[in-house]
């Protein structure tokens, strides 16, 4: 069984065959001891291709309907509100472009919809350990990759070039004002 601690990001993928345009998909997991505590993985479906129903025998239709095949990368984070213990898949929620919310009950004690399966229906949230297993500290030698003399000279030339042109840019307006004032006096 997969195990996570607070701060972990849980990722899952879902492949879908559907007829409507989907904007968002969520899979909700319930805490075993209190179903009010949930952890939701959600994502945006990415269209893959159009597929006729006869290309997929488990769709239950051979009428030539066209389905959209999409993939969804589902993500969710284990937060402080997620108590240590077992979480089990509860439902899938689909939000369509027309504003519909479609829910499918995925609990083991209910019949699974024929087109939705969950590979890992349970996982554990485990408490943080209060120790560090291993850490390595390495001092960094700043002279490990020193700049060569040639690179330093090139850098100095670039700096001098920029200084010269910045000086021209900054001095030009004041020189033009000075020339204008001198012309008025003459």
3-state secondary structure the chain: CEEECCCCEEEEEEEEEECCCEEEEEEEEEECCEEEEEEEEEECCEEEEEEEHHHCHHHCCCCCCEEEEEEEEEEEECCCCCCCEEEEEEEEEEEECCCCEEEEECCCCCCCCCCCCCCCCEEEECCCCCCCCCCCCCCCCHHHCCCCHHHHHHHHHHHHHHHHHHHHHHHHHHHHHHHHHHHHHC
Has residue 117 been placed in a domain?
Answer: yes
The verdict on 45 and 121 lying in the same domain is: yes
pTM above 0.75? no
The verdict on 80 and 167 lying in the same domain is: no
- pLDDT tens digits for range 74-91: 999 999 999 999 999 899
The verdict on 75 and 20 lying in the same domain is: yes
Range of the domain at 181: 146-185
The verdict on 112 and 162 lying in the same domain is: no
Has residue 139 been placed in a domain?
Answer: no
- pLDDT tens digits for range 95-151: 999 999 999 888 877 766 656 777 788 899 998 877 667 777 777 666 556 677 888
The verdict on 18 and 75 lying in the same domain is: yes
């Amino acid at each position: 069984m997969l195990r996570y601690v607070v701060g972990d990001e849980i990722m899952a993928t879902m492949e879908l065959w559907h007829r409507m345009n989907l904007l968002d998909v969520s899979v909700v997991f319930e805490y075993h001891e209190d179903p009010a505590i949930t952890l939701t993985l959600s994502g945006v479906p990415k269209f893959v291709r159009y597929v006729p129903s006869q290309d997929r025998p488990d769709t239950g239709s051979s009428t030539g309907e066209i389905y959209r095949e999409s993939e969804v990368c589902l993500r969710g984070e284990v937060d402080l509100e997620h108590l240590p213990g077992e979480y089990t898949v509860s439902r899938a929620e689909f939000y369509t472009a027309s504003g519909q919310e479609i829910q499918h009950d995925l609990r083991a004690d209910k019949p699974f919809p024929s087109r939705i399966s969950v590979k890992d229906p349970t996982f554990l949230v485990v408490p943080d350990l209060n120790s560090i297993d291993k850490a390595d500290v390495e001092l960094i030698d700043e002279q490990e990759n020193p700049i060569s003399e040639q690179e330093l000279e090139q850098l100095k030339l670039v700096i001098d070039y920029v200084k010269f042109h910045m000086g021209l840019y900054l001095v030009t307006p004041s020189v033009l004002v000075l020339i204008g004032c001198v012309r008025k006096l003459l």
